[in-house]
């Protein structure tokens, strides 16, 4: 575990030697799910202690995505086995698989759930939209394939805006894709932005602003870039344009596509992995005008955590609690799950 300062305090550590690709925490900040190989491990976080409480079996390859529902005791998992599984956690002692979603033709790299919890969007070399329909026999809601966008290369990052009517994606094909909802379950391509490098991470800040992390490929190794690019919606041109860059740490360090960039609006904090560094970026409104697209934002890199290279690879994964108070991190150097309290005001 790297050395921290008074703004970041480790409140819990637990040894975990097996490699991980994803960690998630539930809406109550109590249950932590960790994907290690093809197994999901569930932990209970209470009184600053982490206790393993359950193991979920169902996938055939590495778990790559884990997303908790907020309105019900359910968990979504995606895997390199090209399957999505919906789990019921109503009885933590007896979790069960509710449904398997099949339709992907390659590794699932990313997955998001909207706030209404009636739309799942998942990405591999396809972006698939899943919606809910009432099963006439069981009289229960079931997830069904709704629409897909076929890319010629892997999709690594997905994000949905505040109004949940736009989705952005990035990946191997050096392109940012903006999709817009036109009807209840129909999405159209609104814009394609050609970029110089492939991208691992992309994240909406609000309806008209997002950040994109380019990744440099060198001798078949993916390296972090020096800057995080900022895009804003230009109402005169009716499209998103690059409006700035944020200097971040982790450039020229080997980087994996897992651990998506996260924005917590409560704290105005962006959590961004690049190489073996974790960048904590404060997002502040510079001035408030009548139209949201004219609001100016400032980005301030307030904290950096260096997790160090492990055999040349910056392998760390993690997430942020819903209240924005705690980081949950696993890294391959310490081989520990660390819960870090953020004391930055």
Structure tokens at 43: 């932990």
* Domain positions in the chain: 8-342
pLDDT band at 290 (very low <50, low <70, confident <90, very high): very low
H or E element in which residue 118 lies: none
Structure tokens at 262: 């996260």
Residue 287 pLDDT greater than 70, yes or no? no
Tell me the DSSP string of 7-71.
TEEEEEEEE--S--SEEEE-TTS-EEEEEETTEEEEEEEETTEEEEEEEEE--SS-EEEEEE-SS
Average pLDDT over residues 84-97: 93
How far CA 18 is from CA of 23, 311, 322, in Å, comes to: 13, 16, 26
Looking up tokens 């394939």 gives 145
Kindly report the backbone phi and psi dihedral angles of residue 228, in degrees, each rounded to the nearest multiple of 5, phi listed first: -105, 120
Structure tokens at 104: 């992907």
Average pLDDT over residues 18-28: 96
pLDDT band at 42 (very low <50, low <70, confident <90, very high): very high
d(CA 234, CA 63): 38
The CATH superfamily of 8-342 is: YVTN repeat-like/Quinoprotein amine dehydrogenase (2.130.10.10)
d(CA 150, CA 248): 32
Structure tokens at 46: 């209470």
**CB of 43 closer than 8 Å to CB of 52:** yes
pLDDT band at 40 (very low <50, low <70, confident <90, very high): very high
């Amino acid at each position: 575990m790297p050395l921290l300062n008074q703004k970041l305090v480790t409140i819990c550590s637990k040894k975990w030697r097996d490699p991980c690709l994803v960690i998630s925490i539930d809406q109550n900040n109590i249950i932590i799910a960790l994907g290690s190989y093809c197994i999901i491990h569930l932990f209970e976080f209470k009184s600053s202690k982490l206790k393993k409480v359950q193991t979920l079996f169902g996938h055939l390859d590495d778990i790559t995505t884990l997303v908790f529902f907020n309105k019900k005791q359910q968990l979504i998992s995606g895997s390199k086995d090209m399957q999505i599984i919906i789990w019921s956690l109503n009885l933590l002692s007896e979790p069960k698989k509710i449904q398997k979603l099949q339709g992907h033709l390659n590794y699932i790299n990313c997955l998001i759930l909207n706030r209404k919890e009636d739309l799942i969007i998942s990405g591999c070399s396809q972006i698939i939209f899943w919606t809910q329909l009432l099963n006439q026999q069981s009289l229960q809601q079931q997830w069904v394939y709704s629409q897909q966008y076929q890319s010629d290369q892997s999709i690594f990052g997905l994000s949905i805006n505040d109004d949940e009517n736009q989705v952005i994606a990035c990946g191997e094909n050096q392109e940012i894709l903006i999709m817009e909802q036109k009807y209840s379950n129909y999405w159209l391509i609104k814009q394609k932005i050609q970029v110089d490098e492939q991208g691992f991470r992309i994240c909406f800040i609000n309806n008209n602003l997002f950040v994109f992390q380019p990744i440099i490929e060198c001798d078949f190794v993916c390296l972090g870039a020096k800057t995080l690019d900022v895009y804003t919606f230009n109402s005169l041109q009716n499209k998103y344009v690059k409006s700035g860059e944020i200097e971040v740490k982790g450039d020229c360090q080997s980087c994996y596509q897992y651990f998506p960039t996260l924005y917590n609006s409560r704290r105005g904090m962006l959590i961004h992995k690049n190489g073996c560094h974790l960048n904590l970026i404060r997002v502040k409104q510079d001035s408030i005008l009548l139209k949201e697209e004219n609001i100016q934002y400032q980005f301030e890199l307030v904290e950096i955590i260096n997790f160090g290279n492990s055999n040349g690879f910056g392998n760390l994964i993690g997430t942020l609690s819903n209240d924005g108070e705690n980081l949950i991190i696993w890294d391959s150097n310490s081989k520990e799950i660390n819960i870090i309290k953020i004391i930055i005001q």
